Every structure is written in C-alpha cells, then in structure tokens.
Amino acid sequence: MKSSISRARCTPGHCAARVRALQAAVASTFIALPMLFAAAPAGAVQFIVTDLGALGGTFSAASGINATGKVVGYAYDTGNVNYRAFLWQFGSMQDLGTLGTLGGTNSFATGINAAGQVVGDSYTSGNTAQRAFLWQAGGIRDLGTLGGTLSFATGINAAGQVVGYSNPSGDAAQHAFLWQGGSMQDLGTLGGTLSYAAGINAAGMVVGHATTSGNAATHAFLWQPGGMLDLGTLGGTTSRATGINGAAQVVGYST
C-alpha cells in the first residue's frame, strides 16, 4: 500500500517517464566539492561538479552522503533494465545488489552513516513488493516489516538505528518504525492510521509526520522513548518534519 504521505518512489511501471524527465535536466549523478582557487577573491569558495557515473546504464540519482564523502543512491544497470542501489567511494560506483533470496531485481539506497552502513529498500519476487534493507561490508540484510508486506528505510544514525515506515498486519495502515538490535518497533501515529519517519539523530530521537484522529490532518512529530509528540503547525492543518540534529532541533515545513 502506498499512502498519500509516502515519499515518491519510482516503480518499474512508471520509471521510464520519470527517467526521461530527469535526463532532460540532469544526465547523471554528481557531487559538488568545495575548492579554493588562487584567482578567486580571498576567502571565496567555488565548486567543481564531479560526475559519479552509473552502473552501466544511462541514469543515476544520489540520495545521501556521509562525513567521509561516500555517496549512496540508485542507478540503472546495463541496458537500463533494473534500478540498483549503489555506494560511490574512491572514484567508483559499487552495485549493492538486492535481497536476492526474495527474488527482486530492483533496489534503492536512501541513507548512509559515518561507518558506511547503507539503508534503503529492495523489491521482492516479481518486483511486487518492497522491503527495507541494511547493507554493510559483507552483505545486505532484510529488516522485515511490521507484519504487513511492505517496508521502506529512510535514515540511519551512527549507532546503526534505522528508521522508515512499514505496513502493519493486513496492510490497511502505514506506521513509522525504529529498527535496532535485530527487531522493528512500531512508533505509532498521532491518532490516525498513517505515520512516516524521515530522520533520526545520534540519541535515537525520530522525526517525521503522522495523521491525526480520523486522518483529518497531518502533523509533524518528534518521537523518543515514551511516545510521539505532536509538533503542531504554523496555523494550518499540515506540517511535516524532515530532519533533526544532535541538539534536538527539528526542521520541516507547514501550511
């Protein structure tokens, strides 16, 4: 199930249109690196853009970078047949594979921490469903679900705690989760049926958005052990939190 508050995802059924649209503006993934030039005014910082390439196809997109400059995202493989999660480092792009035991051919990386652990999601057999994964040197791990058929990882902190969202049993809802120590915890909602985790800080505090009672509105939340706090809005009915830092300062947007 994909709800109206889920992040956008390119699925095999509509990838072609999206790729053509993106290629018109951006041919491939890039990284901007600050450089100091002697000809520039004192103290001025300029940038160069580096093409990160692809995995044999014509399209790639970056979704995250860590403190050491390692980049993650997804790219077409040879022949533009499948999307594969990648890790770019030391000048080359590595295919992170898929959850092969589940039979899927597409995967997407969404985040990376300082230790180089990567999170994302991979299709299952027949590319009919997606499951959150954690990749680290040595292989890719299925993080499971909250009892339903789908799960998506959106972020990871330095401690290896993973956040995202998943369907509970029956697939009638979508709930934010925190994965740690080998198990996935349901973070609940603000009274409605939908919630989405967008970020996590080093202390394990999670932010995102969730629907209120009766799914009447969508509000940003801050979750920490003990419960989910409604962060309110700027006077309208909708707000969404997109990130949190070590000082528990939260950013996002609101009506």
Q: Is the pLDDT of residue 84 over 60?
A: yes
Over residues 138-179, the pLDDT tens digits come to: 799 999 999 999 999 999 999 999 999 999 999 999 999 999
Nearest-angstrom CA–CA distance, 22 and 59: 9
Helical H segments across 126-175, by residue range:
none
Nearest-angstrom CA–CA distance, 77 and 80: 5
Provide the pLDDT confidence category of residue 205 given band limits of 50, 70 and 90.
very high
Q: Which residues contact 208 (CB under 8 A, 6 or more apart)?
A: 163, 165, 176, 195, 196, 197, 198, 199, 220, 221, 223, 240, 241
Provide the pLDDT confidence category of residue 56 given band limits of 50, 70 and 90.
very high
- Give the mean pLDDT of the chain: 87
**C-alpha count within 13 angstroms, C-beta hemisphere, residue 251:** 6
pLDDT (average), residues 215-226: 96
The confidence score (pLDDT) of residue 104 equals 77
The confidence score (pLDDT) of residue 127 equals 78
Q: Is 79 exposed, middle or buried (0-12, 13-18, 19+ CB in 10 A)?
A: exposed
